[in-house]
Structure 1
């Protein structure tokens, strides 16, 4: 059992020490929590207002700077990135030289060059109807029976006019096709036909037949020149190397000769074969 009598050596009880302290705090507490004066409160409010304005301005500046940076980034990303790197050199392989000649180096063709698209259309001499066509006749002939200039055949002949008798043109003496070939050195084909020119007044034409070389000039058929002797019988013809070989037979005899003619730029001249038939026996 505890003795309630206090020990005189242990000092006063605890409540006797703390009670005065709590009483002192209670009596002075109103001083520690006393509200500040109106002047202090106004100064504090003014400082808080300036702080809020400063913070708001700083926030605006930060927002603006961030927006500009974002916009610059967006614009910059809208464009392609350019680098200073040069493109890699091409590694194309040079093909070996072709052994096929170019068009400018190609060998010449044996066929004549085509006419320009803007020039006159070429006349196919193999399809000309010589009995129904227009020909410009030349001036060079051994007699004056043939007209000079443009004549037109109808039904195989042209009519008498201007002091000249009627005449005719056909493909050959035997009324076959014309002989075609190149004779004047130009890139075109000529036709060798048989022509008769009658004297005015009803000549039978027995002594007027001859060969005529026809070519194309522009849109016209033009007589280049007459070939061979008058009033003889003409057999097969052959064109070789711009030369016309003619088989001609004496009309009232049995003598046949091979004569060759060439164009000299003005007329056809004989370059090979006999130049005349022998005289008939007396």
Structure 2
């Protein structure tokens, strides 16, 4: 600032202070602005600009007067003019409510969109597991990121999706979770949100597996209307059951304000096509002396019926006889390779059997010479196999086995 400008500014301060102290009433912002406008015509632009900056509001004016306390109400009814902020790039259309409108505005809902990394970093509370081992954790749970390597009894994330499930205008997070147990474990889909403090909170369970059906959750989808879609399957793969044989359905769920309810898709499963009803009956094993070598021989007669309406590609027949009894005779040649190699139990694979068909087989047994065998009982059991040698569903397991005596 030049020396001339400094002098002009000091003189302007002095004149203004003298004028204000001479007034009977303390001027408000409007009176101050009128004074500035009159003097702007008589003074240099530099001094006028300094005065406008000084008198921009009542608080500054009081500072110039060395006054303390709040500013008084304006004495001039002329409306004050507030400096406009920098115009936005998208001005409001004509007739739009102003920012100072008295109409209430809807509070902004917390953002419940959580990434997989954020879920893994947090400790969350889960709804109770409906089935599975009792040690599946539910309180302050730290989730694992890879179900294939998750430790036994820990919860892992299988899938993450997003939807405005509670209709508050903000996105929530839904996650498919697995409690690792053996080769699988129970599953459930859980919805998460944030509270106003930013903490992760649990809304509730969308759907879970059960011991009956569905036993398997396979896919997850969050829809724009707030519906959470889950693909469910009747049977979980494992134990000789391939996942491609499971029946799958998409079901939709919506939040009611208290819980999730199904609103779309089937509510039950029909009979699985990879199933048949196999029945097995057998006769007792009675051993007799073989005079040629001093051994004892006999045969177990087994009748197998296919009571279902699907072809059994093969039947796996097991005989839980003592290890001292060895397979004997030509009938075992139809039982497949290594029929008597791994025992007990003895295993014979037969088939196929058409729907409503049956077969009967007599499997010879031999007790070597000088070998003792106490009388007892054994179980003979049959199981149907489908394509690829996988076991089929049998809805009536009680008739799949029979108990025989041996002596």
Normalised-by-shorter TM-score class: 0.3 to 0.5
Pick the structure with more strand per residue: 2
**In terms of Rg, which structure is larger?**
1
Q: TM-score, normalised by structure 2?
A: 0.35
